[in-house]
């Protein structure tokens, strides 16, 4: 199937990448609005002091990961594609909704266990996963700033499994992976904006993931990008509260620890 002469396979590959930069760009624009400083989970100066990688390096790192994603996605579609040219019909809306839920659960399960293992295994953490944690203060377009091998294992393979297990069509994948991209960017945006629908629908959000990026939360809140079920089931769940920060603004504070 195709939209405007462009195949669903190509759209499913490149639309989520465009969504990544457009949605993260929206947060960059919002970050320039001084009146929103009261909704930042970290003060501006803290990002400059704690993050050990430049924003230019982050952009380059994300582009490398997205290049890997394109290669794997196009290869996958080429392998499973129907060479007969038969148009693949979309299933009923209820079936598509079920495929979304299955894909979300598969992605969450894969990413939880792979993510947690990269923290448990000291070699993998030091040489691979620690790259993502150079962003102690997360921001939107750093959501996919990872070592290329981590990006391949967690995001690219996890996405492929979600697609295959759920049985969704390439057209459905356009919307699913775009949604997953929006969710991942939002979880790293560093803002707690009132009325954010993703914060209403999901307990796994920017404040929840911010806990994980801090030293005291490094062994908690591994779940991403949708639900928190595996953290709760396996004892790695660290709840948080949104509190006023001394000096102004807000912060996400773990309720299990007394940091005073």
Q: Which residue in 218, 200, 199 sits closest to 210, CA to CA?
A: 218
φ and ψ at 191, to 5 degrees? -120, 150
| Sign of the alpha-carbon torsion through 43, 48, 52, 57 | positive
For helices 93-120 and 170-187, the axis angle rounded to 10 degrees is 50
Burial 179-208 (b: 16+ CB within 10 A, else e): bbbbbbbbbbbbbbeeebebbeebbbbbbb
Check if the beta carbon of residue 222 is closer than 8 Å to that of residue 212: yes
What pLDDT, on a 0 to 100 scale, did the predictor assign at position 79? 86
What pLDDT, on a 0 to 100 scale, did the predictor assign at position 82? 66
At 40, list the tokens: 């930042």
What pLDDT, on a 0 to 100 scale, did the predictor assign at position 258? 46
What pLDDT, on a 0 to 100 scale, did the predictor assign at position 113? 98
What pLDDT, on a 0 to 100 scale, did the predictor assign at position 48? 86
Check if the beta carbon of residue 210 is closer than 8 Å to that of residue 164: no
Q: What is the pLDDT along the chain (260 residues), one digit of tens a residue?
A: 556 568 899 999 999 999 999 999 999 998 877 778 889 999 888 888 999 999 999 999 999 999 999 998 899 888 887 665 566 789 999 999 999 999 999 999 999 999 999 999 999 999 999 999 999 999 999 999 999 999 999 999 999 999 999 999 999 999 999 999 999 999 999 999 999 999 999 999 999 999 999 988 999 999 999 999 999 999 999 999 999 988 778 999 998 654 44
Check if the beta carbon of residue 214 is closer than 8 Å to that of residue 232: no
Q: Which residue in 245, 238, 239, 248 sits closest to 260, CA to CA?
A: 245
What pLDDT, on a 0 to 100 scale, did the predictor assign at position 259? 45
**8-state DSSP, 245:** P
pTM assigned to the model: 0.92
């Amino acid at each position: 199937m195709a939209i405007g002469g462009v195949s669903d396979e190509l759209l499913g590959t490149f639309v989520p990448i465009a969504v990544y930069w457009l949605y993260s760009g929206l947060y960059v624009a919002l970050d320039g609005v001084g009146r929103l400083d009261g909704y930042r989970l970290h003060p501006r100066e803290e990002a400059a002091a704690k993050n050990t990688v430049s924003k230019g390096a982050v952009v380059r790192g994300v582009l490398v990961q997205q290049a890997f994603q394109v290669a794997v996605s196009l290869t996958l579609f080429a392998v499973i594609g129907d060479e007969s040219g038969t148009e693949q019909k979309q299933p009923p809306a209820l079936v598509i909704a079920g495929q979304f839920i299955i894909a979300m659960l598969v992605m969450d399960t894969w990413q939880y266990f792979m993510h947690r293992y990269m923290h448990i295994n000291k070699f993998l953490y030091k040489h691979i996963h620690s790259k993502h944690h150079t962003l102690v203060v997360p921001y939107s377009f750093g959501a996919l700033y990872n070592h290329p091998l981590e990006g391949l294992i967690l995001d690219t393979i996890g996405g492929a499994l979600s697609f295959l297990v759920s049985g969704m069509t390439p057209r459905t994948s356009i919307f699913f992976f775009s949604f997953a991209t929006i969710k991942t960017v939002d979880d790293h945006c560093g803002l707690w904006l009132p009325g954010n629908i993703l914060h209403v629908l999901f307990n796994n959000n920017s404040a929840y993931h911010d806990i994980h990026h801090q030293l005291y939360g490094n062994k908690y809140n591994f779940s991403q990008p949708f639900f928190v079920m595996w953290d709760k089931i396996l004892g790695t769940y660290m709840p948080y509260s949104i509190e006023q920060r001394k000096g102004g603004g807000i912060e996400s504070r773990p309720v299990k620890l007394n940091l005073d």
